[in-house]
Amino acid sequence: MPRYKVTVVGAGMVGGTLAQRLAERDYAHVVLVDIVEGLPQGKALDITEAGPIYGYDSVVTGTNGYQETAGSDLVVITSGIARKPGMSRDDLLRTNAGIVREVTERVRETSPEAVLVVVSNPLDAMVTLAHRVSGFPKQRVVGMAGVLDSARYRTFIAMELGVSVEDVHGFVLGGHGDTMVPLPRYTNVAGIPLTQLLPADRIQAVVERTRNGGGEIVSLLKTGSAYAAPSASVVEMVDAILLDKKRVLPCAALLEGEYGIDGIFVGVPCVLGAGGVERILEIELTAEERAALHRSAEAVRELWQALEGTPATS
């Protein structure tokens, strides 16, 4: 069976860890790209040399250019500056926009049939930008955020209840940031509704910790941001797409009227398969949940309009 070709742009902590996780999946050859000379080459060689121990035959190539990436089936964009203590995702906007724009242009030239998975922050604005710049169909551009936010949400619930994370099922909608929308009403532990297991104040504490999950790690690390859980979240999406698994995962997808939102990428439940975002699932929301999702979408829209240089309108 021929191997897939996956390109990871950005060889920092997220990108390097992602390349390792993908190599260990053993279904794709991985190309790791970065502008820093020697960085992607060194990480790629190190990951390849772990193959005899972990038992994978994946070839990992490091490069400072895009020639080696040509014809990729899937490209993950992780490049950009990381959040620093006290820095909001909004602060990252203009710097990372320039980086994502340039990367997307190169990907469009070298891998015009690829599925594009965007990880760079601020996520929702960056995936919207990548879609506009690439000109790719909306199904082939998707943002990673909901899987990560949902993993944090499930982790905190498991910690609160003293149960296995495997038995906690729930997801997060909306933008990747302070306005994300965890849904306790759709959350369960081995089928038992969360609302029967935790009082309202403890559920709210979990929701707030989830919203601040990335910032909590940044404040602890002081010189970096999360990379283990983000890279694992990308792998779950890549698996679903390349292996055509039809997984239902919360991802940033382009909405065109779903949930009453139009023209921007926002986190919603998606069916991921060989075509990328094959379907968006519209679930029933209460008036309060819907209002929260619309507030989150409006925050994303304002960020995008700030990037475009146009005044934000409600």
Please indicate whether residue 294 is annotated as part of the active site: no
How does DSSP assign 230-291, residue by residue? Answer: HHHHHHHHHHHHHTT--EEEEEEEEEESGGG-EEEEEEEEEEEETTEEEEE------HHHHH
Residues 168 and 158 sit within 8 Å (Cβ to Cβ): yes
Which is catalytic among the residues 29, 131, 169, 176? Answer: 176
Residue 270 to residue 142: CA distance in whole angstroms = 10
8 strand-pairing partners:
32, 76
DSSP string, 159-224: HHHT--GGGEE--EEB-SSTT-EE-GGG-EETTEEGGGTS-HHHHHHHHHHHHTHHHHHHHHHSS-
The token pair at 241 is 């797409």
Sequence-distant (6+) residues with CB within 8 A of 58 are 3, 22, 23, 24, 25, 26, 27, 28, 29, 30, 48, 51
Question: Rounded to the nearest 10 degrees, what angle do helices 13-25 and 228-242 cross at?
Answer: 40
Contact 285, 263 (CB under 8 A): no
Active-site positions read 176
